[in-house]
Structure 1
Amino acid sequence: MPVDGSTDPFFAFGTDDLAKLDAIREALLDPSPRRIGRLDQWGLADDYEVYAEIGQYSETTITLADGTQLDASLSVPRGLAPGQTCPAVVLPAPLISIGHRAYLGMLSRWTQGGYVVLAYSQRGLAKSTGEIHVAGPQDVADAAEVVDWLLTQNQVDAERIGFFGASYGAGTSLLAAASDPRIKVVAGTSAWADLFTSLYENGTRHLAAFEALVTLFGEDRCSPEFREVIQKIRANTIDDQVREFARVRSPRNNLAKYNDAATAILLTTSWHETIFSVPAVIDFHNNLTGPKTLLIQVGDHGNAELPGLAGLPAKPTDMAYRWMDYHLGGTAGNGAPPRFDIRSEYMFNPLSDLRHASWDEYAQPKKRFHLADAASGQRDGQLVEDQPQAGWTRSVKATGKGTNIVVAPKLVQTGLAERWGLPNTYRTAETDRGLAAVFATAPVAQASRVRGDLELRVTVKAQQAGATIVAYLLDLNPATGSANIITHAPYTFTDQPAGQATTVTFPLQPADYVVARGRQLQLVIDTQDPFFSYENVTTPVFTLDITSPKGSESYLDIPLQPID
C-alpha cells in the first residue's frame, strides 16, 4: 500500500518496501550515522555510506513557464574536476501516489555509476501541481522544460541524456524522446506503444484496465479534455476525439522520428499484460531501425521491475543500467554490454531466459487447428489438424453474464501470482456450455512449446447487433480437469446487423508457453468477461451461433512445435 493509504495496483510496493524507501530518503537527505545505520536492516548501510561520500541528494521544485510546479529530486556525483561533466538520466514517475519517490531505490546505483539523476512527478501526479494530461503534448512540452532545467546543472553533458521510466513514466519518456533530439536513449519498462489498441482492442473496450487507470489518476485532477474522453469511453462513444487523443499519445506513431534520430530504445512488457497492448509493443519494436532490445517476462504490468525500483536485482532495471552505460558512458551496470535482441521468459517460469536475434526468429511456425463439431458421444467440439471442418453450428446464449473463465480474476495481481509460479486454475468441466462453446485438441504426444502470434478465424451469427465474443486458449490437464490460461482476445461485431453471419479473423495475444506431454489445448469462446464490460449490466438475452461455413471454415493458428 502507498503512503496515503490508497490502492496502487500497478506498482504496489509492500509495507517493507515502503519503509525501506522512506529510510533511504531520510538517509539521502541527512546522511548521518543514525540515518544510514537504520538501513542496516536491509543490508544497505554500506552502500549509502559510499553514496554519502560520492553523491549529493536534494529535493527540489521545477517551476514551468506556465507556473506549474513539478515535484522532483536531484542526485549529483561529488568531487568532479573543474569542467568535468557526466551523463544524465531523467526519471518521469510511474502512476503511483508517491510519484518520483518510487525510484528512490535506484538513485544510489545511478549516481555511483557516474550519472546525474533527475526524477520528477508529471503535472497533476503526486505532489506536482496542474492537471493530468496522460503523457499528452503538454507533458511532452514539460519534459523539454525539465531537460532545460537539468542543463542548468554544470555537471551535465548535454550530449549524453537518457530517460528511464516505468509504465506512465515509460510512455512519457518515449514521447518526450520523439520530440526532443537531446534525449538520445530511452529505457521503458511496462511500456505502451499504442494507447488506442490498449483501450480498444478489436472493437472492444478494456474497461477494467481503463477504470483502474482513471481511479489512479484521480478524475478530479484530470484535464477537461481527458475528462471528456473518460465519459465517451464509458458511453462507448469511440469518435474522432477519442482516436486523436490516443494517437498523439502513442509512441509508434512517431516511428519515423525514432528511426531518423537512431534513438536507442529498450522496451519491456509481460505475457499476461492487462493494461497495455503487447502486440503493439512487439510491432513497435520490430519496426524500429535504431539500437533496440525487447524483454518479455512472466506476469502482468509492473510485476517484474518492481523489485528493481526498490533497489533489488531485477532483469528490467539491470538491463536498463547496462543500456544507459553502453550508450551514455556511465558505469551503473555490471560492465557487460547489452544484447540487441529479443529476451524472454516463458509462462510460468520467471527463471527461464531465452534469447533470439529478432521476433521473426523467435516466433515459431504456426499449425492450423480447425474447429470441428463434437465427436460421437462427446459434448465439446474438437480442434483438429489439416482437415477444414464445415457445416456445424455451436449455439450459446449471451445473457450479460460470463462463465468461470476470465482474462484475469484480478488486474496485475493475477500476473504477480504467475511470477511466483501460482497461476490461476480454471475448472473447465464446470464451464456452462450454454454460455460458451468449447473445443479441444487430442492430448499432445510430446512436450511442445507455444511461442509467437496466434490467430482465430470464426463465423458468428448473433440475434443482436454489436455482440462480443471472448476467446481463451487454455492448457488443460485431462487427468485433473484443471486448466491454466495461455492467451486470449475479444472481438466485438460493431458493424454486424442482427441475424447476419459474419466471418472475422483476429489475433490473440502472443504467448510463450510450454505444454506438457498428455495435456490438451482447449479453446473457449463465450460472450462476456468483466475485463471488457461493466458488471451488473442489464442486457437482453439472445442467441449467438458459432459456425463454420464451407469456404470460410473456422480455425485457430497456433505456433506450436515439439520440444527437442
Structure 2
Amino acid sequence: MSVDDYSENPFALSADDAAKLDAIEQALLDPSPRRIGRLDQWGLADTYEVHAEIAEYRQLSIAMADGTMIDASLSLPRNLAPGQTCPAILMPAPLNDLGHRAYLPMIPRWALGGYAVLAYSQRGLAKSTGEIHVAGPQDVADATEIVNSLIQIEGIDPERIGCFGASYGAGTSLLAAANDLRIKAVVGTSAWTDLFASLYENGTRHLAAFEALVKLFKEERCSAEFKGIIQKIRGNIIDDEVRKFAGDRSPKNHLQAYNDRQVPILMTTAWHETIFSVPAVIDTFNDLTGPKSLLVQIGDHGNSELPGLLGLVSKPTEMAYRWMDHHLGGTAGDGAQPQFGVRSEYMHNLLSDLRHEDWQSYALPKKRFHLADAAAGERDGRMAEGTPHQGWTRSVKVAVHDTEAVVAPKLIQTGLAERAGLPHVYKTADIDRGLAAIWTTAPLPQAMRVQGELELRVTLTPQAPDATIVAYLMDCDPATGTANIITNAPCTVTNEEPGQATTVTFPLQPAHYVLRKGHQLQLIIDTHDQFYAGANRAPSSIDLTSPQGSESYLDIPLSTLS
C-alpha cells in the first residue's frame, strides 16, 4: 500500500448516480414533461413535477467585491402572498468537482418545506473562479457577501437564515455562522472543528488524508498561501505559520461567538472518521452552551449522509430538516422534534439508535487494563484489570511496510463497506511479532460494550532520536485468529536522545463497539501505517516498557451489555 492508494477520489459518484444527477439538473432547469419524464427510471418524476409547481429554480453567478464569480443555484417558492416571507438555507458545497450541484437532490425537500435555497461553490471550487483558500477568512467574507445578495431577494426573511454544509461545506458553514449574525442555525455533516488536530494528531501528520484532500482541491487552483502550507506539511515543518493557518480555519476558536449568540448547532461525525479529528468535534460539542446536537455513526467521512445528499433518507439529513424547521419555522421535516444532545450508532449495528442528554451521560466510566508480559508458553502479552505490571520489555523492529494492522485499507470506502455490514477483517494471528507488540485480554465472560474515550500509556525507548508508534484496539475472535478494528491512534516522540526512555500518554479515537461473549480485546502496537507520516528510521527498533511508577495501561470505557 502507498499514499497513492489513498489518493483516488473517494467521493466519486457511480455512473448511475452521475447520470441521475445530470437528469435532475436538466429537469430543474427545464421542468418540461420530457425532462421530468427522464427521471421516471429512478422513481423521481413525481418529486420534480411537484417542485416545478411550488418553486422556481435557476443557476446564477454571484460577483464578489474583488471580481471573483461564485457559481450558485437558487430555488425560490412560487406565489408568495404580498408581504409573505420564507426561511432560507445557504448551502456551501462539499469538496468535489460537483460543487453546489452535489446538493441538487435535496432541493425538492427544502422547497416542499417552504424554504428558499441558495447553494454555491466556494471560490476556486467547481465552476467558481478565484483561488481555493480552504474555508479561510476570504471564504468567510464571501459567505457574508452571498448572504447580502440573498436577503435582497423579495420574499426572503432576513431573520430566518440557516446554513447547511457537508464536509468542506460543514466547516464553511460553521465559520460563516461565527462571523455573520444573520445566520440563525447551522448543520454541519462530517464536520471539523480543529483543523490542526485533524492534520497533526499526537505529533503525527495525517499525510494520506491530507494528500487525498489536496488532490481533490487540485493544487494548481490553490492560493499561494495554501500552496506554501502544503509544502510545509509535506516537509514536516509544523511552525507558527501552519498553526495560524489551521487556527484561522477552526470553528473551535469561535466558541465565544457561538455561545454569546446561542447559535443552534448540529454536527455529525463517524467512529472511523479518517479525515477530521473526532475528539476535537466532541470537545467543541461539549463546550457549546446553546442548543446543540451531535450524531456519531458507523463508518467513515461522508458515508452516512451520502444517501440524503442523493435525495434518499439518511439520519444526518433527516435531522437537518427537523433542526432547521425547529429553529427557522419551515416544514421540510417529518414534524418530529429535533434531537438535542448525543445520538449514536454502535458498531456494527446500522439499526442501532442510542440517545443521551449529553456526552457526560453517554460515555461509560473507564476501566484500567494493565499491560503485562507474556505468560509462560505464550507469545503475546496480557492485558487485564487489577495490579500494575512493571519490569517487562517488548522490542519491535521499525518497519518500512504496513503490518496486517492498518487504520483502513482505503480512505472512505472501507468505512462505507463497514456501514454495509462488511467491516474489514484483520488476520491478527498472522502479524509478525517482531514488527508488532500485542497484548490480549482473557476471553470475555459475557457480551460487553466499549462506549466513550480511551487512553493509552506506554514507555518508549527508541534507538533513533525520533519515534512513531501506532496503536490499534481490536475485537479478536480467538477461534479464528481474526479481528475487527475498534479504534486507533498514532503517537510521535521527537527531539529525544537515542536510547532515552520517554513515557507517553495519549488518547485513542473514541469508540462505540459491542463485543460478543468469548471474544478478546487485543491491543496492537507497531511502527508503521501508511495513513500516517512516521518519524522512524530503519533499520532500528523501539523498546516498549513499563517502568515502576509509570506502568503501562489502556483505559477503556467498558461495561456489560445490558
Report the TM range for the smaller structure's normalisation: over 0.9
Aligned mates of 2:497, 2:363 — CA distance in 1: 37
CA apart distance, 1:351: 1.3
Deviation readout 1:366-398 (Å, 9 max, x if unpaired): 110000000010010010111100000000111
What amino acid is aligned across from residue 129 of structure 2 in structure 1?
A: T
What amino acid is aligned across from residue 525 of structure 1 in structure 2?
A: I
Counterparts of residues 388-427 of structure 1 (less than 5 Å): 388-427=388-427
**The one of 539, 542, 545 aligned to 1:541:** 539
Deviation readout 1:222-268 (Å, 9 max, x if unpaired): 00000000000000000000000000100001001000011010000
CA apart distance, 1:465: 1.4
Aligned mates of 1:21, 1:113 — CA distance in 2: 21
CA apart distance, 1:12: 3.0
Counterparts of residues 105-184 of structure 1 (less than 5 Å): 105-184=105-184
What amino acid is aligned across from residue 245 of structure 2 in structure 1?
A: F
Partners of 2:467 and 2:536 within 8 A in 1: no
Q: Do residues 467 (structure 1) and 475 (structure 2) align?
A: no
Partners of 1:9 and 1:413 within 8 A in 2: no
CA apart distance, 1:538: 9.8
Task: Indicate the residue corresponding to 1:551 in structure 2.
Answer: 549
Task: Indicate the residue corresponding to 1:43 in structure 2.
Answer: 43
Task: Indicate the residue corresponding to 2:228 in structure 1.
Answer: 228
Aligned mates of 1:547, 1:252 — CA distance in 2: 36
**Measured at CA, do residues 101 and 223 of structure 1 come closer, stay the same or move farther in structure 2, by a change above 3 Å?**
same
CA apart distance, 1:30: 0.7
Aligned mates of 2:48, 2:469 — CA distance in 1: 54
CA apart distance, 1:402: 2.8
Task: Indicate the residue corresponding to 2:259 in structure 1.
Answer: 259
CA apart distance, 1:49: 1.3
Paired residue secondary structure (2:374): coil
Aligned mates of 1:287, 1:547 — CA distance in 2: 36
Aligned mates of 1:538, 1:361 — CA distance in 2: 40
Counterparts of residues 49-448 of structure 1 (less than 5 Å): 49-448=49-448
Partners of 1:299 and 1:419 within 8 A in 2: yes
Task: Indicate the residue corresponding to 1:28 in structure 2.
Answer: 28
Aligned mates of 1:474, 1:399 — CA distance in 2: 20
CA apart distance, 1:359: 0.5
Task: Indicate the residue corresponding to 1:503 in structure 2.
Answer: 503
Partners of 1:297 and 1:346 within 8 A in 2: yes
Sequence identity (%): 69
Paired residue secondary structure (1:229): helix
Name the TM-score, length of structure 1 as normaliser.
0.97
Aligned mates of 2:87, 2:410 — CA distance in 1: 40
**Measured at CA, do residues 8 and 20 of structure 1 come closer, stay the same or move farther in structure 2, by a change above 3 Å?**
farther
Aligned mates of 2:452, 2:520 — CA distance in 1: 18
* Structure 2 segments unaligned to the other structure (5+ residues): 1-6
CA apart distance, 1:533: 2.4
What amino acid is aligned across from residue 253 of structure 1 in structure 2?
A: N
What amino acid is aligned across from residue 408 of structure 2 in structure 1?
A: A
Paired residue secondary structure (1:402): coil
Partners of 2:468 and 2:536 within 8 A in 1: no
Counterparts of residues 471-482 of structure 1 (less than 5 Å): 471-482=471-482
Paired residue secondary structure (1:281): helix
Aligned mates of 2:501, 2:74 — CA distance in 1: 61
Partners of 1:8 and 1:97 within 8 A in 2: no
Q: Do residues 18 (structure 1) and 18 (structure 2) align?
A: yes
What amino acid is aligned across from residue 552 of structure 1 in structure 2?
A: S
Deviation readout 1:480-510 (Å, 9 max, x if unpaired): 1110000000000023221110111100000
What amino acid is aligned across from residue 228 of structure 2 in structure 1?
A: E
* Structure 1 segments unaligned to the other structure (5+ residues): 1-6
Task: Indicate the residue corresponding to 1:3 in structure 2.
Answer: none
**Measured at CA, do residues 182 and 8 of structure 1 come closer, stay the same or move farther in structure 2, by a change above 3 Å?**
farther
Aligned mates of 2:555, 2:429 — CA distance in 1: 24
CA apart distance, 1:45: 1.1
Partners of 1:10 and 1:301 within 8 A in 2: no
Partners of 1:269 and 1:296 within 8 A in 2: yes
Deviation readout 1:150-169 (Å, 9 max, x if unpaired): 11101110000000000000
CA apart distance, 1:540: 2.9
CA apart distance, 1:400: 2.5
Aligned residues between the structures = 556
What amino acid is aligned across from residue 138 of structure 2 in structure 1?
A: Q
Aligned mates of 2:349, 2:207 — CA distance in 1: 29
CA apart distance, 1:327: 0.1
Aligned mates of 1:288, 1:14 — CA distance in 2: 38
Aligned mates of 2:369, 2:211 — CA distance in 1: 36
Partners of 1:8 and 1:96 within 8 A in 2: no
Paired residue secondary structure (2:279): helix
Aligned mates of 1:190, 1:524 — CA distance in 2: 28
Task: Indicate the residue corresponding to 2:3 in structure 1.
Answer: none
**Measured at CA, do residues 192 and 538 of structure 1 come closer, stay the same or move farther in structure 2, by a change above 3 Å?**
closer
Partners of 2:469 and 2:491 within 8 A in 1: yes
Aligned mates of 2:10, 2:160 — CA distance in 1: 31
Aligned mates of 2:396, 2:271 — CA distance in 1: 29
What amino acid is aligned across from residue 559 of structure 1 in structure 2?
A: P
Deviation readout 1:255-296 (Å, 9 max, x if unpaired): 010000110100000000000000000110011000000000
Partners of 1:206 and 1:531 within 8 A in 2: yes
Aligned mates of 2:8, 2:431 — CA distance in 1: 32
Deviation readout 1:403-459 (Å, 9 max, x if unpaired): 111000000000000000101111111111111100000000000000000000000
Paired residue secondary structure (1:327): helix
CA apart distance, 1:17: 1.6
CA apart distance, 1:8: 7.1
Aligned mates of 2:389, 2:58 — CA distance in 1: 68
Greater alpha carbon shift after TM alignment, 209-218 vs 397-406: 397-406
Task: Indicate the residue corresponding to 1:4 in structure 2.
Answer: none
Aligned mates of 1:106, 1:143 — CA distance in 2: 20
CA apart distance, 1:14: 1.9
**Measured at CA, do residues 497 and 472 of structure 1 come closer, stay the same or move farther in structure 2, by a change above 3 Å?**
same
Q: CA RMSD in A?
A: 1.1
What amino acid is aligned across from residue 473 of structure 1 in structure 2?
A: L
Paired residue secondary structure (2:118): strand
What amino acid is aligned across from residue 361 of structure 2 in structure 1?
A: E
CA apart distance, 1:39: 1.0
Aligned mates of 2:264, 2:210 — CA distance in 1: 30
CA apart distance, 1:543: 1.5
Paired residue secondary structure (2:18): helix
What amino acid is aligned across from residue 27 of structure 2 in structure 1?
A: A
What amino acid is aligned across from residue 431 of structure 1 in structure 2?
A: I
Task: Indicate the residue corresponding to 1:562 in structure 2.
Answer: 560
Aligned mates of 2:465, 2:252 — CA distance in 1: 32
Paired residue secondary structure (1:373): strand
What amino acid is aligned across from residue 384 of structure 1 in structure 2?
A: A
CA apart distance, 1:401: 2.6
Partners of 1:11 and 1:306 within 8 A in 2: no
Aligned mates of 2:442, 2:77 — CA distance in 1: 62
Aligned mates of 1:422, 1:128 — CA distance in 2: 38
CA apart distance, 1:13: 2.4
Task: Indicate the residue corresponding to 2:451 in structure 1.
Answer: 451
